[in-house]
Amino acid sequence: MLDQIQQLLQQIAETEIANTEQAEQFRLQYLSRKGLLNDLFEQFKTVPNDQKKAVGQQLNVLKQAAQAKWEGSQAATQHVATPSQFDFSIPSAQTLAGSHHPLSIVQRDIVQIFERIGFHVAEGPEIEDDWHVFSGLNFPPEHPARDMQDTFFVQTHPDFLLRTHTSSVQVREMEKHQPPIRIVMPGRVYRNEAISARAHCQFHQIEGLFIDEKVSFADMKATLLYFVQAFFGKAEIRLRPSYFPFTEPSAELDVYWGLNSEADHRITKGTGWLEIMGCGMVDPNVLAASGIDPEKYSGFAFGMGIERIAMLRYQIDDLRHFFENDVRFLAPFKGLF
Ligand code: DAH
The reported pLDDT for the residue numbered 73 is: 83
Tens of pLDDT, residue by residue over 150-180, are: 899 999 998 999 999 999 999 999 999 999 9
Catalogue the E-assigned strands of the chain: 120-121, 127-129, 153-154, 157-162, 181-190, 202-212, 237-244, 247-256, 273-282, 298-305
Please report the atom of ligand 1 found closest to the CA of residue 209.
Answer: 12
- pLDDT for 79 beyond 70: no
Nearest CA to ligand 1 atom 12: 302
Q: Which atom of ligand 1 is nearest to the CA of 207?
A: 12
Q: What is the pLDDT of residue 321?
A: 95
What would the pLDDT profile of 307-324 be if each residue is shown by its tens digit?
Answer: 999 999 999 999 999 999
* Residue 289 dihedral angles phi and psi, to the nearest 5°: -60, -25
Q: Helix 306-314 crosses helix 217-232 at what angle (to 10 degrees)? A: 40
Taking the centre of ligand 1 as the mean of its atom positions, its distance from the CA of residue 187, in whole angstroms, is 13
Q: Please report which confidence band the pLDDT of residue 260 belongs to, taking 50, 70 and 90 as the band edges.
A: very high
Position in ligand 1 atom list of the atom nearest CA 279: 13
Res 298 pLDDT > 90: yes
User: By alpha-carbon position, which residue is closest to atom 3 of ligand 1?
Assistant: 165
Q: How far does residue 167's CA lie from ligand 1's centre (Å)?
A: 6
Cβ-contact 15, 21 below 8 angstroms: no
Question: In this model, does residue 252 exceed pLDDT 80?
Answer: yes
Residue 200: the pLDDT is: 94
Query: Ligand 1 pocket: which of 165, 183, 224, 276 to mutate (most atoms <8 Å of CB)?
Result: 165
Q: What is the pLDDT of residues 180-232, one digit of tens each?
A: 999 999 999 999 999 999 999 999 999 999 999 999 999 999 999 999 999 99
Task: Encode pLDDT of 89-105 as tens digits.
Answer: 888 887 777 889 999 99
Say how many Å lie between the CA of residue 254 and the centre of ligand 1. 14
Q: State the pLDDT confidence band at 336, using cuts at 50, 70 and 90.
A: low
Residues 17-31: what's their mean pLDDT?
Answer: 89
CA dihedral 209, 285, 166, 223 (to 10 degrees): -20
Could you tell me the pLDDT band of residue 337, with boundaries at 50, 70 and 90? low
Are 226 and 235 a contacting pair, CB within 8 Å?
no
Average pLDDT of span 9-29: 89
Alpha carbon distance 131, 139 (integer Å): 10
pLDDT at 21 over 90: no
Q: Percentage of residues in the chain with pLDDT exceeding 90?
A: 76
The set of protein residues with a Cβ atom below 6 angstroms from ligand 1 is 165, 167, 207, 244, 247, 278-280, 301-303
Separation of CA 258 and ligand 1 centre (Å): 25
Residue nearest to atom 2 of ligand 1 (CA): 303
Q: What is the pTM of this model?
A: 0.74
Give me the chain's average pLDDT, please. Answer: 92
Residue 336 Cα to ligand 1 middle (Å): 28
Helix, strand, coil percent content, the chain, rounded in steps of 5: 45, 20, 35
Whether omega for the bond prior to residue 91 falls within 30 degrees of 0, making it cis, is: no
Contact between 116 and 108 under an 8 Å Cβ cutoff? The reply is no
Asked if pLDDT for residue 249 goes beyond 90, the answer is: yes
Residue 10 pLDDT exceeds 80? yes
Identify the three-state secondary structure at position 51.
helix
Task: Fill in the amino acid letter for 207.
Answer: E
Name which residue sits closest to atom 7 of ligand 1, judged by CA.
Answer: 278
